[in-house]
């Protein structure tokens, strides 16, 4: 099975700071990696698909990069409304399966 790790598990940063979250797979997953934001008490929201494709309507301060086993999610300038838990998610076709990373909780100082 493909295992996903995310780091850090939590972080606290100031408004305007650059925030980076990493996600690592234990085997090559090409660009089969999506990123979600989940605000407290809300359903997850898709931010980035296939490692780097920003979803329509998502602010440009969010970005993603990487391929193979190492991926990065970045918030270029943290805003108060970005307080949330962020999850990476990989998918595998054989067998068909989706796996979420453990999540990174982001707070504003």
Note the residues at the interface with other proteins (CB under 8 A): 32, 34, 36, 38, 43-46, 49-50, 55, 87, 89, 91-93, 95-103
In terms of CB distance, is 55 or 70 closer to other proteins? Answer: 55
Give the Å distances, CA to CA, from 67 to 13, 31, 92. Answer: 26, 5, 14
Judge if the upstream peptide bond of residue 33 is cis by omega within 30 degrees of 0: no
Q: What share of the chain is helix, strand, coil (3-state, %, to 5)?
A: 5, 55, 40
The smaller minimum CB distance to other proteins, of residues 43 and 109, is found at: 43
CB-nearer residue toward other proteins: 17 or 52:
52
Minimum separation from the CB atom of position 15 to other proteins (A): 26
């Amino acid at each position: 099975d493909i295992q996903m790790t995310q780091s850090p598990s939590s972080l606290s940063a100031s408004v305007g700071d650059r925030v980076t979250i990493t996600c690592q797979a234990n085997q090559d997953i090409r660009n089969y990696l999506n990123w979600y934001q989940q605000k407290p008490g809300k359903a997850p929201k898709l931010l980035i698909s296939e490692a780097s494709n920003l979803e329509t309507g998502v602010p440009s301060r969010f970005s993603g990069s990487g391929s193979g086993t190492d991926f990065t999610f970045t918030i270029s300038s943290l805003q108060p409304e970005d307080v949330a838990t962020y999850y990476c998610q990989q998918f595998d076709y054989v067998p068909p399966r989706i796996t979420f990373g453990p999540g990174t909780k982001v707070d504003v100082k």
